[in-house]
Structure 1
Amino acid sequence: MASEAFEPVGDSRVQHRRSLVNGFNYHYLYAEPANGVFQATVFLIHGWPDCSAGWRYQIPLLLDMGLRVVAPDLMGYGGTDAPEGDIALYGFKRASDDIAELAKIVGAQQIILGGHDWGGAVVWRAALWHPELVTHVFAVCTPYVPPTEQWVSTEDLVKGPLPQFGYQLHLASGEVEKFINDEQSIRQFLKGVYGGKGPNGEMLFSPEEGVIAKNLALIGDSRLLDGKMLDYYVQEYNRHGIHSTLNWYRTRKTNFDEELELVEQGKSTISIPTLFVQANHDSVLKPSMSKSMEAFMPNLTRGDVDATHWILMQKPAEVNIIIKEWLQGQGFGSKANSSL
């Protein structure tokens, strides 16, 4: 079930579109089945350090199932704007509102929503902020954590139950931009984050420490991101630099403050059909973190794959099987027509 990944440039199956969304320019991938007939619309939301092309193995599958696909670059990434000043522009509420607006732009009254990494966190929140829009939601790697009225800082998480979140403190600190600041360092960074190592096994990324600057120049090729696709990622990250993508690690308090409204409204349960795909060897989003999800998701389906955090490109066949079977179980993937 490993549909052939699309090429970053010149692939007839996928269009690169741009639209003004709530005052900012968004770049997004847009694709319809070859016959132009689609049963529903799927929005796919990427994480860090990724972009819309992170879904390159899943988009062809969804097209083959008769579904329309929209995959935006999030705020600060790739061809989407990277505004400065207001950190709330990189929060979950703003991302959810932008997804809703982009759905209007493409003429989708309702959508299926899927996410990975930060994108997974976004889609869970979008289902809470816009329940009239989202009919089905799935996340890869990212477990659901409900809104809470109790503030817990990233520092508290690292000192307590989640020491593997130490990297988030480093990414938010402003230190990473000091040594990842040009095309060559971006290339080395991407190779290292996606599994490239130095000659003696040196790693670039540590869940507890973050990005290890001294190893940057040592990193060799990645098996997961290379060739034309690596060149594309480097080009996309070189548009704004890495700083704007790291703003997503600076919004924890903003997200908490905005989500107090959800708490006050008693919005913590997601009753629509949901799917969670666990990467069994994810060193950050570990399987134990998802153990309480059933309490908030009465229609939850689970799947798991023996893969690392980069499951979408490391084990695309296994991921695609899980997504396809879940969607078929929800009545999608047939030749029936719909206007979603």
Structure 2
Amino acid sequence: MAIDRIDMFSDPRVEHKTANLNGHTYHYVLGEPKEAVKGTIFLIHGWPDCAAGWRYQIPALIELGFRVVVPDLMGFAGTDAPKVPPNSISLYSHKRAADDFEELARQLGVSNIILGGHDWGGSVVWRMALWKPDLVTHVFSVCTPYTPPQKDYVSLEDLVKGPLPQFAYQLHLASPEVEGRIQSKEDIRQFLKGMFGGRGPNGELVFEAEKGILFDSLPKLGDTPLMTPKELDYYVEQYSRNGLHGTMNWYRTRKVNWEEELQLNKTTIDQPSLFIQATRDLVLKPEMARGMQKYMTHFSYGEVEATHWALVQKPQEVNAIITQWLNEVVLGGRSKL
């Protein structure tokens, strides 16, 4: 049985809206339940994604009775993508995202929200739970484990040389090369095909965690198994608006995030939280999540047999875990599954 999903081009269950948040225009998708609203959920995507990455979760959450708000992050799709320089890289920091989404909640007349994130969005929601404890009541992340703020700065280079060699691709993305070489609409199409699982006739890949983007593979790639042609058209249209520069700025924020987080003086997530591990994620590997529960006051855990693209690869399983948590912890008032 096919699982329901949102058609991002035209679906009566959602509206495409924009808002000026602290001086920059954000695009977001809004879905309202037909009956009384049980709560508001903000869903935050990662890279190279956009609000459409949650297309399988949005209808399930609306059906449960939640208002669903799904913004495009700064630099992505329909949201502004300010150039750095001349603008400050802090426009792409976790704190800036938290401030902007707090403003979006205020404009929507919402005093508290549930947060869900994937990939970079997972990093954002964990940090937003720290920055905005009065706004965020519950938080969940798919694939991205929680790591507490650190007193000492560790560069991305040292991280790659040390415990996380699979983060070497981030050094490539942070360099000017990728955004400089992938600019045409056709290059963007091939790039997105490859990032979402498309391969060449001899199994060629466009991405290796320990290297980055493999440009020679771009013209060889076949269709992605994770999107319909229509969905791919939507992504290409969105990514062609401003190119890749804004999206790559997220890989240039490690220092500014560390500097801003020195103000936090907090390492514990006190809101009831859920982490969903994708057991075959080659970057955010299962061992990275070990011990994270010691920083959680009310921790729930689930896992799916999937790669990094669990939201669209195993949507029924992901939705089942989120639904159970929402019913038992959020709506049921319990802190553990």
TM over 0.5: yes
Q: What corresponds to 2:302 in structure 1? A: 303
- SS of residue in 2 equivalent to 1:330: helix
Q: Distance in 1 between matches of 2:304 and 2:108?
A: 33
Equivalent residue letter for 2:174: A
For each residue in 1:52-99, what CA deviation from the matched residue of structure 2 results, as whole angstroms up to 9, or x when unmatched?
011000010101100000000000011110112211100100001111
Shift of 1:178: 2.3
1:149-205 per-residue CA deviation (whole Å, 9 max, x = no partner) reads: 111011001101000000000000111022210100000000000000001000000
Output the CA distance in 2 between the equivalents of 1:233 and 1:108: 29
2:56 is matched with 57
Aligned residue identity for 1:307: A
Runs of at least 5 residues in structure 1 that lack an aligned partner in the other structure: 335-340
Partner of 2:42: 43
Which structure has more RCO (C-alpha within 8 Å, separation ≥ 6)?
1
Helix, strand or coil: the match of 1:41? strand
CA distance in 2, matches of 1:66, 1:268: 32
Taking the aligned partners of 1:125 and 1:97, their CA distance within structure 2 comes to: 11
Question: Partner of 1:195 in structure 2?
Answer: 197
Counterpart for residue 161 of structure 1: 163
Give the letter for the 1:53 counterpart. Answer: A
Number of equivalent positions: 330
When the two structures are superposed, what TM-score results if normalisation uses the length of structure 1?
0.95
Decide which moves more: 325-334 or 90-99.
Answer: 325-334
Which whole-Å CA distance do the structure 1 matches of 2:68 and 2:197 have between them?
A: 28
- The answer to whether the 8 Å contact 2:94/2:257 transfers is yes
Task: Decide whether the 8 Å contact of 2:138 with 2:330 is kept in 1.
Answer: no
Q: Extract unaligned runs of 5+ from structure 2.
A: none
State the TM-score, normalizing by the size of structure 2.
0.96
Query: Greater CA deviation, 305-314 or 172-181?
Result: 172-181
Deviation of 1:333 (Å): 8.6
Residue by residue over 1:25-74, the C-alpha shift from the partner in whole angstroms, topping out at 9 and shown as x without a partner, is 01000010124x21100000000000001100001010110000000000
Match of 1:272 in 2: 271
**CA-CA distance at 1:272 after TM superposition:** 1.2
Residues 130-160 of structure 1 deviation map (CA, whole Å, 9 limit, x = unaligned): 0000000000000000001111011001101
Q: What's 1:337 paired with?
A: none
Write the mapping of 1:213-232 to structure 2, written as runs, cut at 5 A.
Answer: 213-232=215-234
Q: Match for 1:144 among 120, 129, 146?
A: 146
TM alignment of 1:104-115, pairs within 5 A? 104-115=106-117
Cα root mean square deviation, aligned: 1.3
Does the 8 Å CA contact 1:2/1:320 hold for their aligned counterparts? Answer: no
Cα offsets for 1:313-339 (capped at 9, x unmatched): 0000000000000000124399xxxxx
Who is 1:243 aligned against?
A: 245
Runs of 4+ with >4 A deviation:
none
| Matched residue, 1:283 | 282
